[in-house]
Amino acid sequence: MNDENAEKVVLPVKYPVITSYTADAHMLAILYSYPSTEEWIFNNYINLWGEEPSHYNNYAMLRFHSWSIKKACPYFKLSYFDKSFFSSDITEFIISKINAGKYVTIFYDQYYIKCSMRYKKMHAAHEMLIYGYDRTLKVFFIADFLHNYKYAFETESFDCIESSITNMLESELFLCTEIAFCKSDYKFSNYFLVNSLKNFLYSQNNVAENENVFIAQYESEPIKRGEYVFGIKNYGLLKEKLSEVIYNNNYDFRSLHVVFDHKVMMCELLKYLANTGMIAFNDSMIEDYSNIKNISRSNRNLLIKFTVTKDKKLIDKIIDNINIMEALEVKAITYLIKKASAKL
């Protein structure tokens, strides 16, 4: 608990290893600033979810898990506030939460934020993380996709933050979440690891016994209907959608960025497993996954280049790379399942 009369309070944050989506970036920025939380992170960033294009997205969207993953995090206690809580002083409301040692995520309009690429250009709803304030400078410490649409930690004036929130209060999207960081005795689970690796390899979404997983209602029904693609089969979905780019030039590069972030996280997982003695530091699988990560980075950059040059050969190269990456990853995951299963 902090002094309610404090002039400045900044809660711990650390730049996250991956930043595919706002929800993941905010959550990981908090978690990485506290010790031992990586054990939960590594158990929950192994599988991939894919969605067929729909009325709200015209590309194959990939993610790691439910959009409601924060509700399953043992380190978070969440409270929610609708617009009725913001009828008085918005600045003091947020400061009171920070003083209580709690983070705030809130939907806002980027049009009013000076460090946003959309400042005074375009009204756009987004979710920011607020993790501190300075009364002397009259600024909040915030995080979101801001300069060049990259995730960043910035400061913004009380007035601009208040204007950006006020403009969102009548939107059906508006929501404010208070995040209290809690201690947890969570321990990394080899059992959960093997289950998640098998889910990825065999394109499943099976929940392991005693595994705490939260799936929102709007996600559970499509899962039952088989509308999501899981694990390695997402490479087929990506290749299908990339093939269509050759004819319509329409693709969103975020899916390939998620694939790259997935490989970054898998490489971090392997470092952790080496540190715990499950695998050797010179295990060939570590080099294999480093190669997979490099291929996925190349694919992301090739697609960015394609958006400029429209050279169809770049799409062919990406698809060829995905085939190489998939073969390497099947081999690596199969091997890792064998190693992890031996420790059960």
List, in sequence order, every residue forming a beta bridge with 102; answer none if it has no partner.
180
> What is the average pLDDT across 262-287?
94
* Same-domain status, 239 and 131: no
User: What is residue 83's predicted lDDT score, i.e. its pLDDT?
Assistant: 87
Q: What is the DSSP letter of 17?
A: S
* Same-domain status, 173 and 300: no
* Same-domain status, 167 and 21: yes
User: What is residue 1's predicted lDDT score, i.e. its pLDDT?
Assistant: 57
Q: What percent of the chain has pLDDT over 70?
A: 96
116 near 146, Cβ under 8 Å? yes
From 181, 207, 232, give the residue that closes a domain. Answer: 181
Q: How many whole angstroms from its chain centre is CA 98?
A: 23
By residue range, what is the domain housing residue 140?
A: 8-34+76-181
> Could you tell me the two tokens for 139?
């600024």
103 near 129, Cβ under 8 Å? yes
* Same-domain status, 251 and 334: yes
* Same-domain status, 215 and 318: yes
Long-range contacts of 66-71 (CB under 8 A, 24+ apart): 66/213, 66/214, 66/215, 66/216, 66/219, 67/23, 67/216, 67/219, 68/214, 68/215, 68/216, 68/219, 69/23, 69/24, 69/27, 69/44, 69/214, 70/23, 70/27, 70/177, 70/179, 71/214
> What is the average pLDDT across 295-318?
94
> Could you tell me the two tokens for 85?
């809580």
* Same-domain status, 123 and 85: yes
| Confidence band for 51, pLDDT divided at 50, 70 and 90 | confident
* Same-domain status, 204 and 150: no
Q: What's the domain count of the chain? A: 2
Q: How far apart are CA 334 and CA 194, in angstroms?
A: 10
* Same-domain status, 204 and 105: no
Q: 1 lies in a domain?
A: no
Q: 118 lies in a domain?
A: yes
Q: 282 lies in a domain?
A: yes
> Could you tell me the two tokens for 268?
């971090």
> What is the average pLDDT across 313-339?
96
From 148, 181, 214, give the residue that closes a domain. Answer: 181
* Same-domain status, 249 and 167: no
User: What is residue 341's predicted lDDT score, i.e. its pLDDT?
Assistant: 94
* Same-domain status, 229 and 293: yes
Q: 49 lies in a domain?
A: no
> What is the average pLDDT across 101-108?
97
Among 33-42, 55-64, 284-293, 312-321, name the one with the lowest average pLDDT. Answer: 55-64
Reply yes or no on whether the pLDDT at 59 is more than 60.
no
* Same-domain status, 200 and 313: yes
**Helical spans, DSSP H, in the chain:** 22-31, 38-43, 90-99, 158-166, 190-201, 217-224, 234-248, 254-275, 284-309, 312-341
41 near 75, Cβ under 8 Å? no
Q: 223 lies in a domain?
A: yes
Reply yes or no on whether the pLDDT at 274 is more than 70.
yes
| Confidence band for 214, pLDDT divided at 50, 70 and 90 | confident
From 129, 164, 181, give the residue that closes a domain. Answer: 181
List, in sequence order, every residue forming a beta bridge with 176; answer none if it has no partner.
81, 106
Q: 121 lies in a domain?
A: yes
180 near 101, Cβ under 8 Å? yes
Q: What is the DSSP letter of 81?
A: E
User: What is residue 55's predicted lDDT score, i.e. its pLDDT?
Assistant: 45
* Same-domain status, 98 and 247: no
Q: How far apart are CA 64 and CA 259, in angstroms?
A: 9
Q: 136 lies in a domain?
A: yes
Please provide the DSSP assignment of 295-334 as one string: HHHHHHHHHHHHHHH--HHHHHHHHHHHHHHHHHHHHHHH
Q: 46 lies in a domain?
A: no
